[in-house]
Each structure stands twice: as structure tokens, then as C-alpha cells.
Chains A and B, each alone.
Chain A
Amino acid sequence: MLLIRCPWCGPRDETEFHYGGAAHVAYPSDPAALSDEEWGRYLFVRENLKGPFAERWCHTAGCRRWFNAVRDTLTNEILRVYRIGEPA
């Protein structure tokens, strides 16, 4: 089981968290201007990185806040966590 440090509550068991996929995916500035393919890419297509990967987590069974974490997808080590709005 991973021990994940919530930036508000501190270290908690992985079972208290919900995974939210890649972080910092920018919302299109003019969604209506996108083709179906471009919109589909925005919604569904993500990098499948090996190594440090910025992703979103939510502390669902605790403070219920979303935050960002950089996790090494190879070792599962969580390198850092930071609050929404804090620099990556």
C-alpha cells in the first residue's frame, strides 16, 4: 500500500485517496473552435510516461481536497506533493 502525503493532512494510506489522472492538462481556450478529433485528444489522450509524472489525487476519505503529486511511474515513489495553485 502506498503512503501518500496529503498537503493538508499529512501521510495517509492510499485507500483514503482517489486518483485523478494527469495534472496540468490545460483547458482549451476556445473549446468550440476545436475539431472532434482535437476535443477527443484533449479529453482522452495522455502521455504514458516512464519516470516522474505529475498527477492529481483527491483525499476523498479525509479533507476531500484535490492536490497534485509527482510520482515516479517506474518505482511508485512519490517525489513531491503540492496544493492546487502552487507551482509545479
Chain B
Amino acid sequence: MAEPLETTIRSPLAGWTPHPLTGIRLAELPFRTQVNLRLPAKGPAADAVGLELGVPLPVEPGTTAGSGELSVLWLGPDEWLVVGSPGADLAARLAARRGAGVSVVDTSALRTTVLVAGPRARDLLAHGCALDLHPTRFPTGRCAQTLLAHAQIVLVAVDDGTSGAEPAYHLLVRSSFANYLADWLEDAAVEYR
């Protein structure tokens, strides 16, 4: 007898229950909407996209812009990642702005998001990330594409709203690397148990 097809979607880290840690919170934030945008940083297309999103595209390398649940991450001089809450209709809204030299691609399934937050979050990330994440160098609102334990990530310093002055980071990791990264985080965090 054929089994009925499973129709529920599974996030890359579904079933991951991080070991409780002192001073660090780990969690998957699954299914966030991600749209890759490529267009010239200046000109009518950039203006139109900025109007549609309600925030201008950030042009300074390694910066983000956003309001509420929406954030726009600088990925390159002509490339951005627009991130929204699960189910947000960003791709459809931005597709209406498609034109010559403008690319809009829904990449929501490409990466999942891992939250690393808490007073020891930076200590944990320093086990495998070469960037200086001190708030004077990498304050809230900064982003970087870099390597964490040899895995490519988009790292974002966020204000996760629950922690006040507590450091919080979003790690956007490719779905196929998510389990590896979660295992690595758990292993690097053994000393904080």
C-alpha cells in the first residue's frame, strides 16, 4: 500500500533541540522569506525597489536597512538579500519591479537562519569565525558574508527584541550545511554548558 505523500514542509533543522547553555541561546528561525535582488545601486530601478520596500537599499558594504520584520542585507555592490517573516509576499511584490537589468529570485529555501544570542554569543562564534564581532566593529545592523568553521554564512548582528543590550546574531546558512553548522555550534559550546 502506498503511503500518502507528506504535505507538511520540514525545515533543515527540524527536530534540533539545542543543549541548554549558560549565557548562549541557540535556535533555528525556520522558513524566513529571502529574496535575492540584483540591480544597479543607483538609478530608477533602485529607487523603485526602495519605495516598494519602504527602505532605501543600503549601499555601504556590510550594512543592512530595515523596518519591522523586513531587512535588506548588502551582499555586493549590485546585490542584496531581502529578508522577511515566513510567508511574506516579498518575491511577488518585487517581481512587479522587474525590468531591464533587474533580477529578483526567491531564495527562501536556499538558507535557513540560526539564532545565536546571549552574553557569551561572541565567545562561541569566535571559535570558528575570523571577524572581529566586537560591537565597536560589528554593531547591530552590520552584516557580512564570511566563513564559520569553513561553512559559508551570512552573518547579521541583530536586535532580537528580547534581549535589550544582549548580543544577538542571525546566521544564514545553506540548507545542506545547516546540520553540520548546528553540530559544530553544539560542539564548540560544550564549555558553556
Chain A interface (Cβ within 8 Å of chain B)?
8-10, 12-13, 15-16, 61-65
CA distance A62 to B61 in the complex (A): 11
Interface centre among B75, B144, B145, B146 (most CB of A within 10 A): B145
CA–CA, A61 and B76, complex, Å: 12
**B62 part of interface (Cβ distance < 8 Å):** yes
Q: Which of chain A's residues have a CB closer than 8 A to the CB of B62?
A: 9-10
Residues of B within 8 A of A (CB): 61-62, 75-77, 79, 130, 144-147, 152
Q: Are B61 and A16 in contact (CB under 8 A)?
A: no
Nearest Cβ distance between residue B29 and chain A, in whole angstroms?
A: 23
Closest 9 CB pairs of A and B: A63-B76, A8-B61, A62-B145, A13-B130, A61-B147, A61-B152, A9-B61, A65-B76, A16-B147
**Which residues from chain A contact B152 at a C-beta distance below 8 Å?**
61
Compute how far the CA of A64 lies from the CA of B77 in the bound complex, rounded to whole angstroms: 10
- A8-B61, A8-B77, A13-B130 known; A63 and B145 CB under 8 Å? yes
Given contacts A8-B76, A8-B77, contact A63 B61 (CB under 8 A): yes
Task: Please measure, in the bound complex, the distance between the C-alpha atom of A58 and the C-alpha atom of B130, giving whole angstroms.
Answer: 18
Q: Knowing A8-B61, A10-B61 touch, does A63 contact B75 (C-beta < 8 A)?
A: yes
